[in-house]
Amino acid sequence: MSHTPQWRDGNRVELLENGEEFYPRLYQRIADAREEVLLETFILFEDKVGHALRDAVIGAAKRGVRVVLTVDGYGSANLTPEFVGPMADVGIIIRVFDPRPKFLGMRTNLFRRLHRKIVVIDRRLAFVGGINFADDHLRDHGPEPKQDYAVEVEGPVVADIYELVSDEGGPESNKRLKRGPSTKSVGSVRAILATRDNHKHREDIEWHYREAIRTAREEIIIANAYFFPGYRFVRAIRSAAKRGVTVKLVLQGRPDWPLVQWAATTLYDYLLRAGVRIYEYCERPMHSKVAVIDSDWSTVGSSNLDPLSLFVNLEANLIMRDRPFATELRNKLEALLERHCQEMSREHARPRTLTRQLISWLVFHLTRRFPAWFGWLPAHTPQHALLVKPETLVAGKAVPAEKEEETA
């Protein structure tokens, strides 16, 4: 990102829960687009959600709308020529972040992922959140649909979101249209785009969290799928609870990755002893990355609170200061707590033995600090590849027209 993000007044923000609310709204906005659609996502699958998105952007491109679609080379590694070909045929620019060849059929780009989920339409409207393009974000997927959130935002902060996504596009997709992003005030929400990258914004998202936690006076509710933050973050939560702030953590009770839940449980006893209340969401896998503090500060985005999101991935969260929005999000989280969560007690927590603390410390620091130790981890600088031959992607060897170093 080429500039330092700032708080922007005058925004309109709407909360969207799960795919049932997010996808129809987004598809309608794409159908209404007149000039440009920029879309970044970690996962794009060839299921009914992926096909619906493909149909939407193809329809826009046929109307003359410029469309740039960027996917992650790990999360969207199995796209086929049959799927991407029709998009390329109508002029959609399709780009892959850090495409890497597979080894023995396995993906090798395990870290440094483009984990953001962002859409910007006509430089005036944007979507930010944690929802990928896959049908496991819909209840009719089966017994394991994911719980997650996104926001639709309009107003001055969209200029910052647009700047981030268009900067990522490289020479081919960074051809700015004559009219810049709108800075017109359309609402009452104060917002800032917080990002995490491997250059100038390494700790921005975590810093915003810690500052809000440090100044909290009444209540903190954090609902995060992958919770394994560093010592400063955990200490801030404990300190808030000890000074009388009600602290509620909503974590996974039915994890899609059991190791992630194990890592989180190593912190349970330490947090519970300070008065932090921990709930496990048990209805279905939780994919949320949201928080509400003092019914005024809130965030919705792509960043988990684990070493990958806080120290390696490219992430984006929208942070808002607005009581009505925060109250709406708080009410939704409280409904989850009441209906679908089990509160943990110290009897549920495993003893914080020296062995468990040592293993926890090693896991945290290995994933945070030392990915280059392992030959199969990407110590290289990630690149974008412009996909000009769709058939090369399915082989895991995207042949780009150009490559450029990561600019996030």
The most distant pair of C-alpha atoms in the chain lies apart, rounded to whole Å, by 63
Q: Are 326 and 296 in contact (CB under 8 A)?
A: yes
CB 273 within 8 A of CB 281: no
3-state SS assignment for residue 146: coil
- Helical packing angle, 18-32 and 48-62, nearest 10°: 10
Place of tokens 């062995």: 355
- Within 282-351, where are the H helices? 307-311, 323-340
Taking alpha carbons only, the member of 127, 129, 151, 147 closest to residue 137 is 147
CB–CB of 402/171 below 8 Å?
yes
Handedness of CA 13, 18, 22, 24 (dihedral sign): negative
Residues 6+ apart with CB under 8 A from 287: 130, 131, 137, 146, 147, 148, 225
Q: Can you give the C-alpha Rg of the chain in angstroms? A: 21
d(CA 287, CA 131): 8
Q: How far apart are CA 145 and CA 96, in angstroms?
A: 26
The answer to whether the beta carbons of residues 315 and 302 sit under 8 Å apart is yes
The token duo for 143 is 């017994």
**Closest listed residue to residue 33, CA positions, set 2, 80, 68:** 68
Please list the active-site residues: 115, 117, 122, 287, 289, 294
| β-bridge mates for residue 318, sequence order | 193, 300
**Burial of residue 51, with CB atoms counted within 10 A of its CB: 0-12 exposed, 13-18 middle, 19 or more buried:** middle
Amino acid at 155: G
* Cβ-proximal residues to 180 (8 Å cutoff; 6+ apart), any chain: 123, 159
In angstroms, what CA-CA distances link 143 with 140, 282, 283, 288? 8, 12, 9, 17
> Cβ distance 295 to 215 under 8 Å?
no
